[in-house]
Structure 1
Amino acid sequence: MKRGITVLLSLTVLVAGAYFTASKWAIRHETLKFYDPARDNRLVPVDVAVRWDKEMQANAGMITLPVAILNHGNTVKNTEYSFLTNIFAARGYLVISPQHDLPTDPPMVTKAGELYVGRLPQIQRGVANIHFAIDEMKKLQPNADYAKVTMVGHSMGGDISMYFAKQYPDEIKKVVTLDNLRVPFLTDGKFKILSFRSKDTHFKPDPGVVPDDEECEKSGITVVNTNFQHNDMRDTGPDVAKNSIQAMLDKFLVDSDSEVAPVDTRSAPPKILEPGPVSLYVPDPSTKKVQKTETEKDRSAVPN
């Protein structure tokens, strides 16, 4: 039986990979440059991705596009997450990816003991970029749901996503993070949260960032513990990592976007099957085991 399930999961990943490989050719990408007059005309480059057919239907007033905001890691380009952008766009989302840091920005200085290790100014800048990008996109694509967005982010982009959700919970539909390390998860159960965690000795979440299994179950949070490295979770990562994340993210979107019945986020989160090499953690009420966390260690390269 276990072998049969393994074969089925492998086929699921293969089918999902083929689907998104085919779908990405029907996705339109565009890079836009916005200038924020409220911040000395700060440049906010934005990568936009949307399916051609869905965009035409929206322009004709036939549908309203759901919106996903994708936030990149520190020093990483906003265009380096196409494997995530394409899965959202393939599912009919309008995907907006702002570039949060610019070459002209001063280097980020971190300090132990400060809130979010001193990254709060950069996180707040990201929130300002998101709100500004949304306001500009409303002018270009009015037939989209900007009132309730899906926030997505890797590393510091995940921290920006979680901080945005904390500050503006009424503007959030759901949150997806990939190895955010600083900003604690929201546990009020107002929306679904999916988080992929790396197995990386260099990158560990700060204490209290990831809730224990009991809190996850109560709050509608699904945590996926993978065997991948922190920096595998972007376009430069291995295909096995990207394909596995895509397959599980697609399952999460199918479940959470279902309009058959309303979802009670205070009930146990959906059981997502493990696709191949990904080790899945889903809260189990029969155990009280708490995830171990420790402060992120310094790395020789620039941190995300």
Structure 2
Amino acid sequence: MKRKKNRLYMILGGILLLVVTAFASMSSDNEPISTEIKIETYEVLDSVRNRLIPYALYSPEVEMKRGDSIRLVIFSHGYGSNYSRNYLNYSYLTKRLAKTGFWTLSIQHELLGDPLIPKEGNLQVVRMPFWIRGEENILFVLHDFKQKHPELKISSIDLIGHSNGGDMSILTAKEHPELIRKVITLDHLRMPIPHLNKPAFASLRSTDKTADSLVIPSQDLCLKNGIKIIQLKKITHNEMNDEGSRKQKKQINSYVQKILEDRL
């Protein structure tokens, strides 16, 4: 009887160990390394364009010393018909990035009174001015961040953008490849991914939208240039912001984290 009890305890102990190991594995992919973050919002005037640019900084709540290096992510929201708080509508992602050590800038690209984005014609042509404006916003906010934090050394800059924000992120990386390490788009549809291996490009694709012709390179070109195209499960184009379900957000966060940390 005693032997049977000991054997039972050993079996139960083994099961418990497997459960703990499984949870630890899940935690490494889905739980933040740091639990405290700081969120600051700014409205900065670009005097050259006479344009006010709101943006938010999500950063780990850690003590930084002069010369410390950081990893920086610049996030660009999807088109929102000039909704003025769209840059705050992806907090599931921007907060997660900060909690795992990435300083994250989220930029408001549309202002009240801006012309609405064209929906007819050759969209790769008629929307280019909006993407160029986004590129200028990205470069200006990066410059402003550097001025506010001259003590920090930026070891890498990654761009992430949803839809129209993904289009402008690709344009920025294409025009300034020396600045950018990685670009991750959340279902961008118009701007072709360059056939380059530097910066590194990746795109998470929705279940309900198809990109324009030649936007997504062929499988051979992706393989040749290290471009990662990831088909998401049960996530539509409009479910990639804070309106998505907890399960959907978890899926996106997991892929983004793995891409940024070279684990995919």
Deviations 1:141-195 (A, max 9, x none): 1244558510110000100110101111111111111000000112121122221
Find out whether 1:26 has 2:41 as its counterpart: no
- Structure number with greater Rg is 2
CA contact (8 A) 1:150 1:173 kept: yes
Cα deviation, residue 253, structure 1: 2.2
* TM-score, length basis structure 1: 0.73
Of 179, 184, 193, which aligns to 1:185? 193
Distance 2:154 2:131 in 1: 20
Find out whether 1:44 has 2:49 as its counterpart: no
Moved segments of 4+, more than 3 Å: 10-14, 143-148
Q: Which amino acid aligns with 2:59?
A: V
Cα deviation, residue 240, structure 1: 1.1
Against the structure 1 CA distance between its residues 144 and 186, is the aligned structure 2 distance closer, same or farther, given a 3 Å change threshold?
Answer: farther
Deviations 1:91-125 (A, max 9, x none): 322111110001121222233235x1511111111
Which structure 1 residue ranges, 5 or more long, are not aligned? 1-6, 256-269, 273-304
Of 170, 194, 211, which aligns to 2:217? 211
Find out whether 1:35 has 2:42 as its counterpart: no
Aligned to 2:137: 129
Q: How does 1:261-280 map to 2 (within 5 A)?
A: 272=264
Deviations 1:23-78 (A, max 9, x none): 4x4010111110111012x110011000011xx22xx1252112110000011600
Q: How does 1:81-96 map to 2 (within 5 A)?
A: 81-96=90-105
Cα deviation, residue 19, structure 1: 1.8
SS at match of 1:170: coil
Against the structure 1 CA distance between its residues 253 and 113, is the aligned structure 2 distance closer, same or farther, given a 3 Å change threshold?
Answer: closer
Against the structure 1 CA distance between its residues 194 and 82, is the aligned structure 2 distance closer, same or farther, given a 3 Å change threshold?
Answer: same
Q: Which amino acid aligns with 2:60?
A: R
Aligned to 2:112: 103
Distance 1:212 1:31 in 2: 40
Aligned to 2:207: 199
* TM-score, length basis structure 2: 0.84
Aligned to 2:8: none
SS at match of 1:152: strand
Aligned CA RMSD, in angstroms, stands at 2.4
Deviations 1:262-300 (A, max 9, x none): xxxxxxxx6x4xxxxxxxxxxxxxxxxxxxxxxxxxxxx
Aligned to 2:73: 68
Cα deviation, residue 17, structure 1: 7.1
Against the structure 1 CA distance between its residues 72 and 52, is the aligned structure 2 distance closer, same or farther, given a 3 Å change threshold?
Answer: same
CA contact (8 A) 1:50 1:95 kept: yes
Distance 2:173 2:198 in 1: 10
CA contact (8 A) 1:193 1:220 kept: yes
Against the structure 1 CA distance between its residues 143 and 68, is the aligned structure 2 distance closer, same or farther, given a 3 Å change threshold?
Answer: farther
Aligned to 2:27: 15
Aligned length: 241
Name the stretch that deviates more: 245-254 or 179-188.
245-254
SS at match of 1:235: coil
CA contact (8 A) 1:13 1:247 kept: no
Aligned to 2:249: 242
Distance 1:204 1:118 in 2: 19
CA contact (8 A) 1:199 1:226 kept: yes
Cα deviation, residue 135, structure 1: 1.3
CA contact (8 A) 2:71 2:155 kept: no
Q: How does 1:107-186 map to 2 (within 5 A)?
A: 107-113=116-122, 116=124, 118-145=126-153, 148-186=156-194
SS at match of 2:48: helix
Distance 1:244 1:13 in 2: 15
Q: Which amino acid aligns with 2:261?
A: V
Name the stretch that deviates more: 245-254 or 182-191.
245-254
SS at match of 1:47: strand
